[in-house]
Amino acid sequence: MRKYLFFISQLYGFAIVRPLQDLIVSRGDEVAWFFENPDKLLPNLRPSEKILKTVAEVKAYNPCAVFVPGNVVPDFFPGIKVELFHGFHARKRSDERGHFRIRNFFDLYCTQGPDTTIPFKTLAKEHGSFEVMETGWSKMDPLFEMHTRTRLKKIRKVVLLTSTFTPSLSAAPVLFETVRQLAGTGKWKWLVNFHPKMDEGVLGKYRSIQSDNLILIETDDVIPLLKEADIMVSDTSSVISEFLLLQKPVVTFKNQAPGPHLLNITSPEKLEEMIALGLTYPESLIKEIKAYSDHIHPYRDGRSSIRVLEATDRFVAKGRDHLKPRPFNLIRRLKIRMKLKYFRF
């Protein structure tokens, strides 16, 4: 029996690794969880899911691989370290500071599509200390599952409002008054879901205007919301890319990298007009959305978790002797040791 570990730092990690968990368990292997922030994350663990609470327990468990939907992982945990990513490349920052920053923690990067595979392959040749395999993103598997239950016919179109927590990029506070007014008309149904790190003051404002027309939803799994919505309103959040995979339009507010696949606005006064336009599903827009989604995540088979696990097992079987040692990374190693109160090297 093979053992695997999930190292989770944020709420969004649950939806990324649970499709992997289902696959691992179905083939008779074992998986356990370790939380960087247990007080915050433990309430979201299911009764059937196994939690390891100490470094000593992780070492005794001895996983062959550690899956990480984040940027860092304890280097002293047993097993190869597999980067799953916590989102698509949203282009919030420069490449060297953002999505393509090499922090020297990982042995294997499981990329989502050509948009990320090509740059990471280049970095792999440059560094020589990790492998890159394009697998698709495990979180997206449920997005493409077929549902047999009959859906009720919608009375109104559904608008999903999302937003990044980064203050300089977040549309949530800027669009609040406009959204409040539009929700008051009852023209559309609004679902609101923000990044787990969103400012509590902003969350409070949206909680205060909840009604039959607008619901604030705090969840560790956004996939059902993506399926229900007819259009998204956002900013430069990486969840935009997830929604575009469904070939549905997104209205963005001051997006950092606007393109023909987005309906970008720079003034709140244009929001209603652009939502109305998007809901007509213009043929030229949908064509651009398809081209973009094929570039970031060409897989529509719901089998990305299988590819991730196969790539991981191949790496475990051959080991990492063919790669250069990872740089010592002293500062980051010290930080994670301080966090977990483990000081051995």
Q: How many residues are present in the chain?
A: 345
Do 189 and 290 lie in one domain? The reply is: yes
Point out the domain boundary residue: 266, 281, 296. Answer: 296
Residues paired with 163 in a beta bridge: 194
Cα 107 to Cα 66: distance, rounded to the nearest angstrom: 10
Query: In the predicted model, what is the mean pLDDT of the chain?
Result: 93
Residue 151 is assigned to a structural domain of this protein: no
290 and 306 inside one domain: no
Q: Are residues 45 and 13 in the same domain?
A: yes
- Cα 176 to Cα 234, 238, 271: the distances in Å are 12, 20, 11
- 243 and 311: one domain? no
Number of alpha carbons in the 13 Å side-chain half-sphere of residue 274: 20
- Specify the DSSP element, H or E, that contains 34: strand 30-35
Structure letter (DSSP) for residue 295: H
Residues 65 and 39 in one domain: yes
Helix, strand, coil % over all residues of the chain, rounded to 5: 40, 15, 45
**Residue 265 falls inside a structural domain:** yes
Residue at 104 is within a domain = yes
309 and 266 in one domain? Answer: no
Q: Please spell the DSSP secondary structure of 73-135, one letter per residue.
A: --TTSSSEEEE--SS----SS-TTTTTT---S--SEEEE-SHHHHHHHHHHHHHH-S-EEEE-
Q: Are 141 and 19 in contact (CB under 8 A)?
A: yes
Residue 14 CA to residue 10 CA, distance in Å, equals: 8
Parent domain of 324? 3-142+302-340
Number of domains, the chain: 2
Predicted local confidence at residue 148, as pLDDT = 41
Please tell me the predicted confidence (pLDDT) of residue 98. Answer: 61
Predicted pLDDT at 149: 44
The full DSSP string for 216-271 is: E---S--HHHHHH-SEEEESS-THHHHHHTTT--EEEES-SS--TTSEEESSGGGH
Q: Are residues 336 and 254 in the same domain?
A: no
- Run of H or E residues at 318: helix 304-318
Q: 215 with 156: CB under 8 angstroms? A: no
User: Does 153 reside within a domain?
Assistant: no
Please report whether residue 282 resides in a domain: yes
The pLDDT score that the predictor gives to residue 97 is 56
Neighbours of 102 (CB within 10 A): 17
> Do 274 and 309 reside in the same domain of the chain?
no
312 and 278 in a common domain: no
Does the residue 152 lie in any domain?
no
Give the whole-angstrom CA distance, residue 9 versus residue 273. 39
pTM: 0.87
The partner residues of 68 in beta bridges, in order of sequence, read 83
DSSP label at residue 136 = -
CATH code, 178: 3.40.50.2000
Count CB atoms within 10 A of the CB of residue 265: 21
Residue 150, in any domain of the structure: no
Cβ neighbour number for residue 311 with a 10 Å cutoff: 19
Both 97 and 167 in one domain: the answer is no
The type of residue at 145 is E
Task: Please classify residue 187 by burial: count the beta carbons closer than 10 Å to its beta carbon, then call 0-12 exposed, 13-18 middle and 19+ buried.
Answer: middle
Q: What is the pLDDT of residue 310?
A: 98
Do 192 and 258 fall within a single domain?
yes
Instruction: Let me know if residue 149 belongs to a domain.
Output: no
Q: Are residues 163 and 136 in the same domain?
A: no
DSSP 305: H
Distance CA 245, CA 291 (A): 10
Which ranges of the chain have pLDDT less than 70? 90, 92-98, 146-153, 345
326: which residues sit within 8 A by CB, 6+ positions away? 75, 104, 105, 107, 129, 130
The pLDDT value given to residue 92: 63
Whether the CB-CB separation of 13 and 73 falls below 8 Å is answered with: no
H or E element, residue 142? none
Residue 52: the pLDDT is 98
